[in-house]
Structure 1
Protein backbone atom coordinates (compact mmCIF):
# COMPACT_ATOMS: atom_id res chain seq x y z
CA UNK A 1 0.00 0.00 0.00
CA UNK A 2 2.95 2.32 0.59
CA UNK A 3 4.09 1.60 -2.98
CA UNK A 4 0.55 2.26 -4.22
CA UNK A 5 0.37 5.56 -2.33
CA UNK A 6 3.72 6.73 -3.71
CA UNK A 7 2.65 5.70 -7.24
CA UNK A 8 -0.67 7.53 -6.98
CA UNK A 9 1.25 10.60 -5.83
CA UNK A 10 3.60 10.23 -8.80
CA UNK A 11 0.58 9.90 -11.10
CA UNK A 12 -0.60 13.29 -9.90
CA UNK A 13 2.81 14.75 -10.70
CA UNK A 14 2.69 13.39 -14.26
CA UNK A 15 -0.87 14.70 -14.73
CA UNK A 16 0.22 18.17 -13.64
CA UNK A 17 3.26 18.12 -15.94
CA UNK A 18 1.35 16.80 -18.96
CA UNK A 19 -1.48 19.30 -18.43
CA UNK A 20 0.78 22.02 -19.86
CA UNK A 21 0.24 20.59 -23.36
CA UNK A 22 -2.72 18.17 -23.10
CA UNK A 23 -6.34 18.67 -22.06
CA UNK A 24 -8.13 16.86 -19.24
CA UNK A 25 -10.06 14.52 -21.55
CA UNK A 26 -6.84 13.57 -23.34
CA UNK A 27 -5.03 12.91 -20.07
CA UNK A 28 -7.78 10.57 -18.86
CA UNK A 29 -7.86 8.87 -22.27
CA UNK A 30 -4.13 8.08 -22.26
CA UNK A 31 -4.26 6.96 -18.63
CA UNK A 32 -7.09 4.46 -19.26
CA UNK A 33 -5.97 3.37 -22.75
CA UNK A 34 -2.68 2.23 -21.22
CA UNK A 35 -4.60 0.09 -18.71
CA UNK A 36 -6.80 -1.40 -21.46
CA UNK A 37 -3.75 -2.47 -23.46
CA UNK A 38 -1.87 -3.92 -20.48
CA UNK A 39 -4.80 -5.68 -18.80
CA UNK A 40 -6.38 -6.78 -22.09
CA UNK A 41 -3.06 -8.15 -23.36
CA UNK A 42 -2.41 -10.03 -20.13
CA UNK A 43 -5.93 -11.51 -20.21
CA UNK A 44 -5.46 -12.69 -23.79
CA UNK A 45 -2.15 -14.33 -22.94
CA UNK A 46 -3.75 -16.12 -20.00
CA UNK A 47 -6.82 -17.05 -22.09
CA UNK A 48 -9.13 -15.42 -19.57
CA UNK A 49 -12.77 -14.77 -20.45
CA UNK A 50 -13.90 -11.20 -21.16
CA UNK A 51 -17.60 -12.14 -21.23
CA UNK A 52 -19.57 -11.22 -18.11
CA UNK A 53 -23.23 -11.39 -17.09
CA UNK A 54 -22.73 -8.19 -15.05
CA UNK A 55 -22.32 -5.74 -17.91
CA UNK A 56 -24.99 -3.40 -16.51
CA UNK A 57 -23.13 -2.99 -13.21
CA UNK A 58 -19.88 -2.46 -15.10
CA UNK A 59 -21.49 0.32 -17.16
CA UNK A 60 -22.72 2.12 -14.03
CA UNK A 61 -19.36 1.79 -12.27
CA UNK A 62 -17.48 2.75 -15.42
CA UNK A 63 -19.50 5.90 -16.14
CA UNK A 64 -19.32 7.13 -12.56
CA UNK A 65 -15.62 6.34 -12.34
CA UNK A 66 -14.89 8.03 -15.65
CA UNK A 67 -16.57 11.32 -14.74
CA UNK A 68 -14.87 11.15 -11.34
CA UNK A 69 -11.50 10.77 -13.07
CA UNK A 70 -12.24 13.73 -15.36
CA UNK A 71 -13.05 15.91 -12.35
CA UNK A 72 -9.99 14.66 -10.48
CA UNK A 73 -7.54 15.32 -13.31
CA UNK A 74 -9.02 18.79 -13.85
CA UNK A 75 -8.56 19.54 -10.14
CA UNK A 76 -4.96 18.28 -10.20
CA UNK A 77 -4.26 20.53 -13.20
CA UNK A 78 -5.61 23.67 -11.49
CA UNK A 79 -5.02 23.18 -7.76
CA UNK A 80 -1.98 22.48 -5.59
CA UNK A 81 -1.41 18.73 -5.86
CA UNK A 82 -2.01 17.93 -2.18
CA UNK A 83 -5.28 19.91 -2.16
CA UNK A 84 -6.66 18.08 -5.21
CA UNK A 85 -5.66 14.67 -3.83
CA UNK A 86 -7.21 15.40 -0.43
CA UNK A 87 -10.52 16.46 -1.99
CA UNK A 88 -10.59 13.22 -3.97
CA UNK A 89 -9.92 11.29 -0.77
CA UNK A 90 -13.27 12.40 0.64
CA UNK A 91 -14.62 9.30 -1.17
CA UNK A 92 -14.88 7.15 2.03
CA UNK A 93 -16.96 9.89 3.65
CA UNK A 94 -19.31 10.00 0.65
CA UNK A 95 -19.37 6.21 0.44
CA UNK A 96 -20.67 6.07 4.01
CA UNK A 97 -23.28 8.75 3.26
CA UNK A 98 -24.44 7.12 0.02
CA UNK A 99 -24.70 3.73 1.74
CA UNK A 100 -27.31 5.33 3.98
CA UNK A 101 -29.15 7.25 1.26
CA UNK A 102 -29.12 4.60 -1.50
CA UNK A 103 -28.89 1.30 0.38
CA UNK A 104 -30.75 2.17 3.57
CA UNK A 105 -27.83 1.23 5.81
CA UNK A 106 -27.76 2.61 9.34
CA UNK A 107 -25.03 5.14 10.10
CA UNK A 108 -23.51 4.56 13.57
CA UNK A 109 -22.26 7.36 15.80
CA UNK A 110 -18.71 7.03 14.51
CA UNK A 111 -20.08 7.49 11.00
CA UNK A 112 -21.91 10.66 12.01
CA UNK A 113 -18.69 11.95 13.58
CA UNK A 114 -16.80 11.10 10.38
CA UNK A 115 -19.34 13.09 8.34
CA UNK A 116 -19.05 16.13 10.60
CA UNK A 117 -15.24 16.11 10.65
CA UNK A 118 -15.02 15.52 6.92
CA UNK A 119 -17.31 18.36 5.91
CA UNK A 120 -15.64 20.72 8.38
CA UNK A 121 -12.27 19.84 6.86
CA UNK A 122 -13.58 20.37 3.31
CA UNK A 123 -14.97 23.83 4.15
CA UNK A 124 -11.73 24.78 5.87
CA UNK A 125 -9.59 23.52 2.99
CA UNK A 126 -11.67 25.15 0.27
CA UNK A 127 -11.91 28.63 1.79
CA UNK A 128 -8.57 29.92 0.43
CA UNK A 129 -9.06 27.99 -2.82
CA UNK A 130 -12.46 29.64 -3.31
CA UNK A 131 -10.98 33.12 -3.06
CA UNK A 132 -7.62 32.62 -4.77
CA UNK A 133 -8.21 30.04 -7.51
CA UNK A 134 -11.95 30.24 -8.18
CA UNK A 135 -14.77 27.92 -7.26
CA UNK A 136 -14.80 25.52 -10.24
CA UNK A 137 -11.59 23.61 -9.52
CA UNK A 138 -12.51 23.16 -5.85
CA UNK A 139 -16.05 21.99 -6.62
CA UNK A 140 -14.83 19.53 -9.26
CA UNK A 141 -12.21 18.18 -6.87
CA UNK A 142 -14.91 17.54 -4.29
CA UNK A 143 -17.22 16.09 -6.96
CA UNK A 144 -14.46 13.61 -7.88
CA UNK A 145 -14.60 12.31 -4.30
CA UNK A 146 -18.40 12.04 -4.36
CA UNK A 147 -18.48 10.15 -7.67
CA UNK A 148 -15.58 7.91 -6.62
CA UNK A 149 -17.47 6.99 -3.45
CA UNK A 150 -20.57 6.26 -5.54
CA UNK A 151 -18.60 4.10 -7.97
CA UNK A 152 -17.19 2.11 -5.04
CA UNK A 153 -20.75 1.04 -4.20
CA UNK A 154 -20.88 -0.68 -7.59
CA UNK A 155 -17.39 -2.12 -7.12
CA UNK A 156 -18.64 -3.66 -3.89
CA UNK A 157 -21.69 -5.07 -5.68
CA UNK A 158 -19.47 -6.56 -8.39
CA UNK A 159 -17.24 -8.15 -5.77
CA UNK A 160 -20.22 -9.60 -3.91
CA UNK A 161 -21.51 -11.02 -7.20
CA UNK A 162 -18.21 -12.86 -7.67
CA UNK A 163 -16.80 -10.76 -10.50
CA UNK A 164 -13.06 -11.15 -11.07
CA UNK A 165 -11.03 -8.15 -9.94
CA UNK A 166 -9.19 -7.82 -13.25
CA UNK A 167 -12.47 -7.63 -15.18
CA UNK A 168 -13.74 -4.88 -12.88
CA UNK A 169 -10.61 -2.81 -13.54
CA UNK A 170 -10.53 -3.69 -17.25
CA UNK A 171 -14.12 -2.71 -17.99
CA UNK A 172 -13.70 0.55 -16.08
CA UNK A 173 -10.65 1.36 -18.21
CA UNK A 174 -12.41 0.27 -21.42
CA UNK A 175 -15.53 2.35 -20.75
CA UNK A 176 -13.40 5.36 -19.82
CA UNK A 177 -11.28 5.00 -22.97
CA UNK A 178 -14.36 4.79 -25.18
CA UNK A 179 -15.80 7.80 -23.36
CA UNK A 180 -12.61 9.70 -24.07
CA UNK A 181 -12.77 8.83 -27.78
CA UNK A 182 -16.36 10.07 -27.89
CA UNK A 183 -15.65 13.36 -26.11
CA UNK A 184 -12.55 14.04 -28.19
CA UNK A 185 -14.72 14.21 -31.32
CA UNK A 186 -15.86 17.58 -30.01
CA UNK A 187 -12.40 18.82 -29.03
CA UNK A 188 -8.99 19.26 -30.60
CA UNK A 189 -6.46 16.47 -30.23
CA UNK A 190 -3.05 17.73 -29.20
CA UNK A 191 -0.12 15.79 -30.69
CA UNK A 192 2.19 13.67 -28.60
CA UNK A 193 5.67 15.15 -28.77
CA UNK A 194 9.11 14.42 -27.42
CA UNK A 195 8.31 16.92 -24.65
CA UNK A 196 5.09 15.33 -23.36
CA UNK A 197 5.50 11.62 -24.21
CA UNK A 198 7.62 10.98 -21.07
CA UNK A 199 4.83 12.48 -18.92
CA UNK A 200 2.14 10.42 -20.67
CA UNK A 201 4.17 7.22 -20.25
CA UNK A 202 4.87 8.10 -16.63
CA UNK A 203 1.15 8.66 -16.10
CA UNK A 204 0.24 5.27 -17.54
CA UNK A 205 2.96 3.33 -15.74
CA UNK A 206 2.47 4.98 -12.34
CA UNK A 207 -1.31 4.51 -12.50
CA UNK A 208 -0.93 0.83 -13.41
CA UNK A 209 1.65 0.16 -10.68
CA UNK A 210 -0.57 1.94 -8.15
CA UNK A 211 -3.66 -0.04 -9.19
CA UNK A 212 -1.88 -3.40 -9.07
CA UNK A 213 -0.14 -2.65 -5.76
CA UNK A 214 -3.38 -1.46 -4.17
CA UNK A 215 -5.29 -4.51 -5.37
CA UNK A 216 -2.58 -6.80 -4.00
CA UNK A 217 -2.53 -4.93 -0.69
CA UNK A 218 -6.28 -5.30 -0.17
CA UNK A 219 -6.09 -8.96 -1.16
CA UNK A 220 -3.33 -10.06 1.25
CA UNK A 221 -3.32 -7.37 3.95
CA UNK A 222 -5.61 -6.37 6.79
CA UNK A 223 -8.34 -4.24 5.22
CA UNK A 224 -8.43 -1.51 7.89
CA UNK A 225 -4.66 -1.13 8.03
CA UNK A 226 -4.42 -0.99 4.24
CA UNK A 227 -7.23 1.59 4.04
CA UNK A 228 -5.48 3.80 6.59
CA UNK A 229 -2.12 3.49 4.80
CA UNK A 230 -3.78 4.66 1.58
CA UNK A 231 -3.83 8.20 3.01
CA UNK A 232 -0.07 8.27 2.59
CA UNK A 233 -0.96 9.42 -0.94
CA UNK A 234 -1.80 12.81 0.56
CA UNK A 235 1.59 12.95 2.29
CA UNK A 236 3.48 11.95 -0.86
CA UNK A 237 1.49 14.50 -2.89
CA UNK A 238 2.27 17.25 -0.40
CA UNK A 239 5.97 16.35 -0.57
CA UNK A 240 6.02 16.26 -4.38
CA UNK A 241 4.08 19.52 -4.60
CA UNK A 242 6.48 21.28 -2.25
CA UNK A 243 9.62 20.00 -3.99
CA UNK A 244 8.49 20.55 -7.58
CA UNK A 245 6.17 23.58 -7.41
CA UNK A 246 6.97 25.12 -4.00
CA UNK A 247 3.40 24.50 -2.82
CA UNK A 248 4.31 24.64 0.85
CA UNK A 249 1.37 23.94 3.16
CA UNK A 250 0.41 26.29 5.96
CA UNK A 251 -0.92 25.17 9.32
CA UNK A 252 -4.54 25.79 8.28
CA UNK A 253 -4.22 23.57 5.20
CA UNK A 254 -2.50 20.86 7.22
CA UNK A 255 -5.22 21.01 9.87
CA UNK A 256 -7.99 20.81 7.25
CA UNK A 257 -6.33 17.87 5.52
CA UNK A 258 -5.89 16.12 8.86
CA UNK A 259 -9.63 16.45 9.55
CA UNK A 260 -10.49 14.94 6.15
CA UNK A 261 -8.04 12.08 6.64
CA UNK A 262 -9.41 11.41 10.14
CA UNK A 263 -12.91 11.43 8.67
CA UNK A 264 -11.92 8.80 6.11
CA UNK A 265 -10.27 6.61 8.73
CA UNK A 266 -13.37 6.77 10.95
CA UNK A 267 -15.70 6.13 8.02
CA UNK A 268 -13.75 2.99 7.10
CA UNK A 269 -14.22 1.67 10.67
CA UNK A 270 -18.00 1.76 10.56
Structure 2
Protein backbone atom coordinates (compact mmCIF):
# COMPACT_ATOMS: atom_id res chain seq x y z
CA UNK A 1 0.00 0.00 0.00
CA UNK A 2 1.48 3.36 -1.06
CA UNK A 3 1.07 6.13 1.45
CA UNK A 4 -0.56 9.29 0.12
CA UNK A 5 1.48 12.53 0.18
CA UNK A 6 -0.81 13.96 2.86
CA UNK A 7 -0.39 10.89 5.04
CA UNK A 8 3.39 11.00 4.62
CA UNK A 9 3.36 14.71 5.48
CA UNK A 10 1.34 14.05 8.62
CA UNK A 11 3.72 11.29 9.71
CA UNK A 12 6.73 13.56 9.31
CA UNK A 13 4.91 16.28 11.24
CA UNK A 14 4.23 13.86 14.10
CA UNK A 15 7.83 12.70 13.97
CA UNK A 16 9.07 16.28 14.36
CA UNK A 17 6.64 16.87 17.24
CA UNK A 18 7.78 13.68 18.99
CA UNK A 19 11.44 14.69 18.53
CA UNK A 20 10.82 18.11 20.10
CA UNK A 21 8.96 16.49 23.02
CA UNK A 22 11.74 13.89 23.40
CA UNK A 23 14.32 16.68 23.64
CA UNK A 24 12.14 18.40 26.25
CA UNK A 25 12.01 15.19 28.32
CA UNK A 26 15.77 14.75 28.06
CA UNK A 27 16.14 18.36 29.24
CA UNK A 28 13.86 17.65 32.21
CA UNK A 29 16.02 14.62 32.99
CA UNK A 30 19.09 16.89 33.00
CA UNK A 31 17.28 19.30 35.34
CA UNK A 32 16.73 16.40 37.76
CA UNK A 33 20.38 15.36 37.51
CA UNK A 34 21.56 18.94 38.05
CA UNK A 35 19.38 19.26 41.15
CA UNK A 36 20.49 15.92 42.62
CA UNK A 37 24.15 16.68 41.88
CA UNK A 38 23.90 19.60 44.28
CA UNK A 39 24.04 17.22 47.26
CA UNK A 40 24.87 13.78 45.83
CA UNK A 41 28.13 12.56 44.33
CA UNK A 42 28.37 12.62 40.54
CA UNK A 43 28.84 8.84 40.49
CA UNK A 44 25.70 8.40 42.58
CA UNK A 45 23.61 10.57 40.23
CA UNK A 46 24.98 8.65 37.22
CA UNK A 47 23.95 5.41 38.93
CA UNK A 48 20.40 6.66 39.44
CA UNK A 49 20.30 7.79 35.79
CA UNK A 50 20.73 4.17 34.78
CA UNK A 51 18.91 2.41 37.60
CA UNK A 52 15.75 4.52 37.41
CA UNK A 53 15.44 3.90 33.65
CA UNK A 54 16.19 0.16 33.79
CA UNK A 55 12.70 -1.01 34.95
CA UNK A 56 10.97 0.98 32.19
CA UNK A 57 13.27 -0.46 29.51
CA UNK A 58 12.75 -4.02 30.78
CA UNK A 59 8.98 -3.52 30.79
CA UNK A 60 9.15 -2.17 27.24
CA UNK A 61 11.22 -5.16 26.08
CA UNK A 62 8.74 -7.57 27.65
CA UNK A 63 5.69 -5.71 26.33
CA UNK A 64 7.06 -5.64 22.78
CA UNK A 65 8.35 -9.22 23.02
CA UNK A 66 11.83 -8.02 22.13
CA UNK A 67 13.89 -9.83 24.79
CA UNK A 68 15.26 -12.24 22.18
CA UNK A 69 16.79 -9.28 20.35
CA UNK A 70 19.04 -8.14 23.22
CA UNK A 71 21.62 -10.90 22.75
CA UNK A 72 24.95 -9.18 21.98
CA UNK A 73 27.15 -10.31 19.11
CA UNK A 74 30.29 -8.35 20.01
CA UNK A 75 30.34 -8.23 23.78
CA UNK A 76 33.78 -6.60 23.88
CA UNK A 77 32.40 -3.51 22.13
CA UNK A 78 29.55 -3.33 24.65
CA UNK A 79 32.11 -3.43 27.47
CA UNK A 80 34.22 -0.69 25.88
CA UNK A 81 31.15 1.43 25.25
CA UNK A 82 29.95 0.83 28.81
CA UNK A 83 33.27 1.96 30.29
CA UNK A 84 33.40 5.14 28.21
CA UNK A 85 29.71 5.80 28.94
CA UNK A 86 30.33 5.67 32.68
CA UNK A 87 33.13 8.22 32.37
CA UNK A 88 31.27 10.60 30.06
CA UNK A 89 28.04 10.51 32.09
CA UNK A 90 29.86 11.23 35.36
CA UNK A 91 31.63 14.13 33.65
CA UNK A 92 28.26 15.28 32.27
CA UNK A 93 26.77 15.33 35.78
CA UNK A 94 29.72 17.40 37.04
CA UNK A 95 29.28 19.82 34.12
CA UNK A 96 25.57 20.22 34.89
CA UNK A 97 26.45 20.86 38.53
CA UNK A 98 29.15 23.43 37.78
CA UNK A 99 27.59 25.39 34.91
CA UNK A 100 24.20 26.96 34.13
CA UNK A 101 22.07 24.57 32.08
CA UNK A 102 22.25 26.61 28.85
CA UNK A 103 26.03 27.03 29.15
CA UNK A 104 26.43 23.28 29.59
CA UNK A 105 24.27 22.62 26.52
CA UNK A 106 26.28 25.12 24.48
CA UNK A 107 29.38 23.01 25.18
CA UNK A 108 27.58 19.71 24.55
CA UNK A 109 26.57 20.97 21.09
CA UNK A 110 30.23 20.68 20.09
CA UNK A 111 29.72 16.88 19.91
CA UNK A 112 28.64 16.74 16.20
CA UNK A 113 31.84 18.58 15.26
CA UNK A 114 33.96 16.04 17.15
CA UNK A 115 31.98 13.10 15.75
CA UNK A 116 32.62 14.36 12.21
CA UNK A 117 36.36 14.60 12.83
CA UNK A 118 36.64 11.28 14.70
CA UNK A 119 34.66 9.38 12.05
CA UNK A 120 37.59 9.80 9.64
CA UNK A 121 40.30 7.89 11.58
CA UNK A 122 37.98 5.59 13.55
CA UNK A 123 35.33 4.65 10.97
CA UNK A 124 37.31 5.41 7.80
CA UNK A 125 34.52 7.69 6.60
CA UNK A 126 35.20 10.35 4.00
CA UNK A 127 34.55 13.95 5.00
CA UNK A 128 34.39 16.51 2.21
CA UNK A 129 35.48 20.12 2.15
CA UNK A 130 31.98 21.36 3.02
CA UNK A 131 31.81 19.43 6.30
CA UNK A 132 35.41 20.30 7.17
CA UNK A 133 34.50 23.94 6.59
CA UNK A 134 31.45 23.60 8.86
CA UNK A 135 33.63 22.05 11.57
CA UNK A 136 36.05 24.98 11.31
CA UNK A 137 33.22 27.49 11.60
CA UNK A 138 31.83 25.51 14.54
CA UNK A 139 35.11 25.72 16.40
CA UNK A 140 35.15 29.48 15.80
CA UNK A 141 31.79 29.45 17.60
CA UNK A 142 33.45 27.53 20.45
CA UNK A 143 36.13 30.22 20.69
CA UNK A 144 33.43 32.91 20.80
CA UNK A 145 31.50 31.33 23.69
CA UNK A 146 34.64 30.34 25.63
CA UNK A 147 36.39 33.70 25.43
CA UNK A 148 37.40 35.26 28.78
CA UNK A 149 34.42 37.62 28.69
CA UNK A 150 31.99 34.67 28.42
CA UNK A 151 32.58 31.26 30.02
CA UNK A 152 36.37 31.29 29.82
CA UNK A 153 38.65 28.44 28.78
CA UNK A 154 40.11 27.43 32.10
CA UNK A 155 37.13 27.13 34.43
CA UNK A 156 36.63 23.71 35.99
CA UNK A 157 33.13 23.30 34.58
CA UNK A 158 34.20 24.17 31.02
CA UNK A 159 37.16 21.75 31.03
CA UNK A 160 35.01 18.93 32.42
CA UNK A 161 32.26 19.78 29.90
CA UNK A 162 34.66 19.54 26.96
CA UNK A 163 35.95 16.18 28.23
CA UNK A 164 32.35 14.98 28.66
CA UNK A 165 31.57 16.03 25.09
CA UNK A 166 34.63 14.17 23.80
CA UNK A 167 33.47 11.07 25.71
CA UNK A 168 29.98 11.36 24.22
CA UNK A 169 31.44 11.71 20.72
CA UNK A 170 33.49 8.53 21.22
CA UNK A 171 30.38 6.68 22.42
CA UNK A 172 28.41 7.81 19.36
CA UNK A 173 31.23 6.66 17.08
CA UNK A 174 31.07 3.26 18.80
CA UNK A 175 27.27 3.17 18.38
CA UNK A 176 27.67 3.81 14.64
CA UNK A 177 30.12 0.92 14.47
CA UNK A 178 28.01 -1.40 16.62
CA UNK A 179 24.82 -0.75 14.64
CA UNK A 180 26.38 -2.85 11.89
CA UNK A 181 25.93 -6.01 14.00
CA UNK A 182 23.96 -5.11 17.16
CA UNK A 183 20.24 -4.45 17.57
CA UNK A 184 18.84 -1.21 18.98
CA UNK A 185 17.40 -3.23 21.88
CA UNK A 186 20.82 -4.58 22.88
CA UNK A 187 22.43 -1.14 22.58
CA UNK A 188 19.78 0.40 24.81
CA UNK A 189 19.73 -2.33 27.47
CA UNK A 190 23.48 -2.76 27.84
CA UNK A 191 23.99 1.00 28.03
CA UNK A 192 21.62 1.26 31.00
CA UNK A 193 23.01 -1.90 32.58
CA UNK A 194 26.56 -0.58 32.39
CA UNK A 195 25.53 2.65 34.11
CA UNK A 196 23.55 0.82 36.79
CA UNK A 197 26.23 -1.75 37.63
CA UNK A 198 29.40 0.24 36.99
CA UNK A 199 28.33 3.54 38.53
CA UNK A 200 26.53 1.69 41.35
CA UNK A 201 29.71 -0.09 42.45
CA UNK A 202 31.84 3.04 42.18
CA UNK A 203 29.21 5.17 43.96
CA UNK A 204 29.57 3.00 47.07
CA UNK A 205 32.87 4.76 47.82
CA UNK A 206 31.10 8.14 48.11
CA UNK A 207 27.48 7.27 48.86
CA UNK A 208 25.43 10.05 50.41
CA UNK A 209 22.05 9.74 52.14
CA UNK A 210 18.92 9.82 49.97
CA UNK A 211 16.18 11.89 51.58
CA UNK A 212 12.42 11.83 51.11
CA UNK A 213 12.73 15.09 49.22
CA UNK A 214 14.90 13.32 46.65
CA UNK A 215 12.22 10.76 45.78
CA UNK A 216 10.18 13.00 43.40
CA UNK A 217 13.38 14.02 41.61
CA UNK A 218 14.50 10.40 41.27
CA UNK A 219 11.09 9.38 39.93
CA UNK A 220 11.19 12.32 37.54
CA UNK A 221 14.64 11.21 36.41
CA UNK A 222 13.40 7.72 35.54
CA UNK A 223 10.06 8.72 34.02
CA UNK A 224 11.46 11.55 31.88
CA UNK A 225 14.26 9.34 30.61
CA UNK A 226 11.88 6.51 29.73
CA UNK A 227 9.35 8.80 28.00
CA UNK A 228 12.16 10.55 26.13
CA UNK A 229 13.50 7.24 24.83
CA UNK A 230 10.02 6.16 23.71
CA UNK A 231 9.33 9.47 21.95
CA UNK A 232 12.73 9.35 20.27
CA UNK A 233 12.06 5.84 18.98
CA UNK A 234 8.64 6.87 17.64
CA UNK A 235 10.08 10.02 16.06
CA UNK A 236 12.62 8.03 14.05
CA UNK A 237 9.92 5.53 13.09
CA UNK A 238 7.79 8.30 11.59
CA UNK A 239 10.36 10.61 10.00
CA UNK A 240 13.83 10.23 8.47
CA UNK A 241 16.92 11.20 10.53
CA UNK A 242 17.84 13.91 8.02
CA UNK A 243 14.60 15.72 8.88
CA UNK A 244 14.79 15.19 12.63
CA UNK A 245 18.45 15.95 13.37
CA UNK A 246 18.05 19.73 13.24
CA UNK A 247 15.30 19.64 15.86
CA UNK A 248 17.68 18.16 18.43
CA UNK A 249 18.99 21.70 18.85
CA UNK A 250 15.64 22.77 20.29
CA UNK A 251 17.34 21.62 23.50
CA UNK A 252 18.83 25.10 23.80
CA UNK A 253 15.34 26.62 23.96
CA UNK A 254 14.38 24.23 26.76
CA UNK A 255 17.71 24.83 28.52
CA UNK A 256 17.18 28.59 28.48
CA UNK A 257 13.61 28.27 29.78
CA UNK A 258 14.29 25.59 32.41
CA UNK A 259 17.55 27.16 33.58
CA UNK A 260 15.80 30.47 34.15
CA UNK A 261 12.74 28.83 35.73
CA UNK A 262 14.61 26.67 38.25
CA UNK A 263 17.79 28.66 38.95
CA UNK A 264 17.27 32.12 37.48
CA UNK A 265 20.21 31.57 35.09
CA UNK A 266 20.58 33.38 31.79
CA UNK A 267 23.72 33.10 29.60
CA UNK A 268 25.61 36.15 28.44
CA UNK A 269 25.48 37.42 24.83
CA UNK A 270 28.84 35.87 23.87
CA UNK A 271 27.61 32.45 24.94
CA UNK A 272 24.41 32.83 22.92
CA UNK A 273 26.26 34.05 19.80
CA UNK A 274 28.86 31.28 20.04
CA UNK A 275 26.19 28.64 20.63
CA UNK A 276 24.24 29.91 17.59
CA UNK A 277 27.35 29.50 15.41
CA UNK A 278 27.98 25.98 16.75
CA UNK A 279 24.32 25.00 16.23
CA UNK A 280 24.31 26.37 12.67
CA UNK A 281 27.46 24.36 11.93
CA UNK A 282 25.91 21.22 13.38
CA UNK A 283 22.76 21.64 11.29
CA UNK A 284 24.83 22.13 8.14
CA UNK A 285 26.91 19.02 8.92
CA UNK A 286 23.69 17.02 9.32
CA UNK A 287 22.44 18.40 6.00
CA UNK A 288 25.65 17.44 4.18
CA UNK A 289 25.61 13.99 5.80
CA UNK A 290 22.05 13.45 4.55
CA UNK A 291 23.08 14.53 1.04
CA UNK A 292 26.06 12.14 1.12
CA UNK A 293 23.89 9.19 2.17
CA UNK A 294 21.33 10.03 -0.52
CA UNK A 295 24.10 10.16 -3.13
CA UNK A 296 25.56 6.82 -2.00
CA UNK A 297 22.09 5.28 -2.03
CA UNK A 298 21.46 6.45 -5.60
CA UNK A 299 24.82 4.98 -6.68
CA UNK A 300 23.94 1.62 -5.12
CA UNK A 301 20.54 1.61 -6.83
CA UNK A 302 22.18 2.45 -10.15
CA UNK A 303 24.58 -0.47 -9.76
CA UNK A 304 21.73 -2.85 -9.00
CA UNK A 305 19.81 -1.73 -12.09
CA UNK A 306 22.83 -2.46 -14.25
Q: Do these two structures clear the TM 0.5 threshold for a shared fold by scoring above it?
A: yes
Separation (CA, whole Å) in 2 of partners of 1:216 and 1:154: 23
Matched, 1:205 2:227: no
Alpha-carbon offset, residue 78 of structure 1: 0.8
1:1-270 alignment runs, 5 A limit:
1-44=19-62, 46=65, 48-49=67-68, 50-127=70-147, 128-130=150-152, 135-161=155-181, 163-187=182-206, 189-268=207-286, 269-270=288-289
SS of the residue 2:34 aligns to: helix
Q: What SS does the aligned partner of 1:231 have?
A: helix
1:130 and 1:251 map into 2 onto residues whose CA distance is 13
Does the C-alpha gap of structure 1 residues 156 and 47 become closer, same or farther in structure 2, counting only changes over 3 Å? Answer: closer
* More displaced 10-residue stretch of structure 1: 37-46 or 66-75: 37-46
5+ unaligned residues in a row in structure 1: which ranges? none
Q: Determine the C-alpha separation between the residues in 2 that align with 1:209 and 1:227.
A: 19
CA shift digits 1:37-81 (9 cap, x unpaired): 222244345362243222122122222222211111110111010
**In structure 1, the residue corresponding to 2:197 is in which secondary structure?**
helix
Task: Please report how far the alpha carbon of residue 244 of structure 1 lies from its aligned counterpart in structure 2 after TM superposition.
Answer: 2.1
TM-score by length of 1: 0.91
How many residues of Structure 1 are paired with residues of Structure 2 in the alignment?
266
TM-score w.r.t. length of structure 2: 0.81
Distance in 1, Cα, partners of 2:273 & 2:60: 43
Q: CA deviation at 1:6?
A: 0.8
Structure 2: any 5+ residue segments left out of the alignment? Answer: 1-18, 290-306
Query: Whose radius of gyration is greater, 1 or 2?
Result: 2
Whether contact under 8 Å (2:52, 2:218) holds in the other structure is: no
Distance in 2 separating the partners of 1:62 and 1:229: 27
CA distance in structure 2 between the aligned counterparts of 1:224 and 1:113, rounded to whole angstroms: 20
CA–CA distance in 2 between the matches of 1:220 and 1:52? 27
Is residue 8–residue 207 contact of structure 1 (8 Å, CA) maintained in 2? yes
What is the CA–CA distance in structure 1 between the aligned matches of 2:228 and 2:30, rounded to whole Å? 11
DSSP-derived class of the 2:146 partner: helix
User: Residue 302 of structure 2 aligns with which residue?
Assistant: none
Quote how far apart the aligned CAs of 1:195 are. 1.3
1:160-216 deviations in whole A, cap 9, x for unaligned? 22x2212211101101111112212322x1222111111111112112222221222
Q: Deviations over 1:228-264 (max 9, x none)?
A: 0011011111111122222123322211110111121
In structure 1, the residue matched to 2:301 is none
Identify which range, 86-95 or 75-84, moves more after superposition.
Answer: 86-95
